[in-house]
Amino acid sequence: MARLAEEEVISSSPFSLKARRGMTLIEVSVVLLVITMVMGFLVWMLQSFATLRTTADEAEALSQAYTFARRAAIKSGETVYFEMHLEEENYSIYRMDRSGKEPEKKTILEKRTLSSRNSLVAIVSPLGGRINTGTITLPFYYDGTTEEVSIYLGSDPSIETTVHFPRFAVSGIIEEGETLPESMPGDDEDVREKDRLEEKEF
């Protein structure tokens, strides 16, 4: 009997390991602190990767966005808009939804901001000249055509790369340094690609 009473006292003791369930407030605080530190580190890493994007990376991304906008216009049969904000150093692609009472912007490519070491220095058009500030909007029509422009990238005011967007080309033409815009018709492969895309719509 005495032994049973002793075991009962031990099992009911507040210091018994079996009686302890869950985590203490201090342990919860430590876990939350560790999670916060890890999240902060991950955010810092993502920001670092964005900062490390080179001018060549940004030029390639611009060329891909141009191709995306052109193909989206051909596929949908609607006008697609490629909008660039020179002061904010970003660009996006959208279309106008006219099914409601008022036209409404519908984003089809989320806003992309250039890395801190790069900027949209200027945009040159044979029709509009050189533009250094403001917002430029390129409309891509149902057949994939748009206005011919050249975009200068670099660390303002230095220009490291030029991206030419010919009127009929499938993608941009990337050149090192500052080059003057010229009339650049698409090559044979560009024309064949354009024809293939248009044939898919019929």
55-199: CATH, from 3.40.640.10, 3.40.1190.20, 3.55.40.10, 3.40.50.620:
3.55.40.10
| CA-only gyration radius of the chain, Å | 29
Angle between helices 55-76 and 188-199 (to 10 degrees): 40
Q: 3-class SS at 115?
A: coil
Q: Which two tokens stand for residue 166?
A: 């010919």
Say whether pLDDT at 188 is over 60. no
What's at 31, amino acid-wise?
Answer: V
Which are the contacts of 45, defined by CB distance < 8 A and separation ≥ 6? none
Bigger pLDDT: 112 vs 198: 112
Average the pLDDT over each of 15-19, 71-75, 114-118 and give the range with the smallest value: 15-19
Bigger pLDDT: 5 vs 146: 146
Nearest by Cα to 198 from 71, 63, 64: 71
pLDDT category at 196 given cuts 50, 70, 90 is low
Say whether pLDDT at 31 is over 50. yes
Bigger pLDDT: 60 vs 3: 60
Cα separation of 124 and 128, whole Å?
A: 7
pTM of the model: 0.62
Percent of the chain residues past pLDDT 90, beyond the cut: 24
pLDDT category at 15 given cuts 50, 70, 90 is very low
